[in-house]
Amino acid sequence: MSERHYFGTDGIRGQVGVAPITAEFALHLGNAAGRVLAIADQPSVLIGKDTRLSGYMLEAALQSGLIAAGVHVHLLGPIPTPAVAQLVRATGACAGIVISASHNPHQDNGVKFFSAQGEKLPDAVELAIEAALDAGFQSVPAERLGKAMRLSDASERYLQFCRHSVAPEFSLAGTKIVLDCAHGATYKVAPQLFAELGASVSSIGVSPDGLNINHQCGTTHPQALQAEVLARGADLGIAFDGDGDRVMVVDDEGELLDGDDLLHILARCWQTSGRLRGAVVGTLMSNFALEKALADCGIGFTRANVGDRFVHQRLLEQGGVLGGEASGHLLCLDRAGTGDAMVNALQVLDAVRASGRSLADWRRALVRYPQRTINVRVPAGSRPLLDATVSAHRARVETRLHGCGRVVLRASGTEPVVRVTIEADDLVLVESLAAELAATVLSAAVRGAS
């Protein structure tokens, strides 16, 4: 595969005003993407965004580049990322674009794409867009320029899709829920959805000002939601991230259930109902307790690399329908083609109700293994994970942990760091093994750099 210059694991992301997250680059990106993705006689692309102030700038620049490439643009305004994926399929657009940096602070922003099928772009298409960027800005003749227009019913279409992800008789009547919308893309649609389903809804994180997205709220800072659930005596709380593709839940005791907890609930309940197909897919960082709990119930579990696109790929390869990450990015592929926090929250509430058990009871059923991660900063260019002494030490640790834990060695993709992670049922053992293996990694890195 050719080397990427701009696209990461989830589109293009960075600090606003610093290349590539500039108005100039967005103009050229829209133009290049339009030339690659415009596969119809009258091509159209949807653009959605979260609530960041910088979204206005990037939206206008992308729009201009696409129009110059002869593409019609439908502007959706602030709307969850999964809504864009769903609306691309529903409208027959060539592609969807989301302007968001997900759970990052407002200083960051990004651009990610969905194909006509509402899925992340294949590597080959992303590389084609990068090649088109290198070829320079190109405008079609004046008579072939695209137009821009608003899709006024985008939110209602998406809400209808969410409502249809559960049975018509599904109701939250009598349920007291607190929502934390992270001052992000779900700030209007989430309270509306849960209220329409009968819940008594209280909301926090629903006053975006362009700068407060994800600030001390949402899935990255659930403490505010936990406190609000207890203060209001609510039955549960639901936290979303800034672009609405991650979800976590708080039970009536104010305790947090993250993505591992929610996967455990869904897998067990879907096994009972017959809805589960294939193995559940987690990542290298999914807690070992989840793997063991599912194995004890006869449910297959496999791990993909960190990142929802890798979880999605593995699910498609093995015909599975359920996967995700502890961060709350879940995939219920029999209901949505991408990570959809609002849809996934409904699936969890539906499963819990059908099980006859409380959220707190489900939380206590998954007893986490102690985990320790040490970030070992290594000299730039060193490759300690290829060192024989590191491989040998890792093998010894894996032998020691066989059946009761695991080890993960992972080089960071953004900084010169190797992450050493140990999980086991003994906290003292976890701490000692992590420290010893981290020392071996550091020694190998220094030796390799000298």
Q: Over the chain, what is the mean pLDDT? A: 95
Mean pLDDT for 128-146 is: 96
C-alpha–C-alpha distance, residues 116 and 15, integer Å: 28
Nearest partner of 178 among 214, 228, 212, 242, judged by Cα: 228
Domain 158-254: which CATH number of 3.40.50.460, 3.30.200.20, 3.40.120.10, 3.30.9.10: 3.40.120.10
CATH no. of 371-449? 3.30.310.50
pLDDT in tens, 428-445: 999 999 999 999 999 999
Mean pLDDT for 222-236 is: 98
Measured at the CA of 291, the angle between CA 286 and CA 295, to 5 degrees, comes to: 165
Mean pLDDT for 271-276 is: 98
3-state secondary structure of 87: helix
Task: Count CA atoms closer than 13 A to 2's CA, side-chain side.
Answer: 13
| Topology (CATH) of 12-153 | Alpha-D-Glucose-1,6-Bisphosphate; Chain A, domain 3 (3.40.120)
Task: Count CA atoms closer than 13 A to 448's CA, side-chain side.
Answer: 19
pLDDT band of 416, cuts 50, 70, 90: confident
What DSSP string describes 180-241? E-TTSTTTTHHHHHHHHTT-EEEEES----SS-TTTT-STT-THHHHHHHHHHT-SEEEEE-
In 3-state terms the chain splits into helix, strand, coil percentages (rounded to 5) of 40, 20, 40
pLDDT in tens, 170-186: 999 999 999 999 999 99
- Parse the chain into domains and list their residue ranges: 12-153, 158-254, 257-340+359-365, 371-449
Whether 12-153 and 257-340+359-365 share one fold: the answer is yes
> CA torsion sign, 129 to 134 to 136 to 140?
negative
C-alpha–C-alpha distance, residues 418 and 185, integer Å: 34
The architecture in CATH of the region 257-340+359-365 reads 3-Layer(aba) Sandwich (3.40)
Residue 223, pLDDT score: 98
Question: Which are the catalytic amino acids?
Answer: 102
pLDDT in tens, 323-343: 999 999 999 999 999 999 999
Residue 9, pLDDT score: 77
pLDDT in tens, 340-386: 999 999 999 999 999 999 999 999 999 999 999 999 999 988 899 99
H helix runs in 319-426, sequence order: 341-355, 359-365, 388-401
Residue 38, pLDDT score: 83
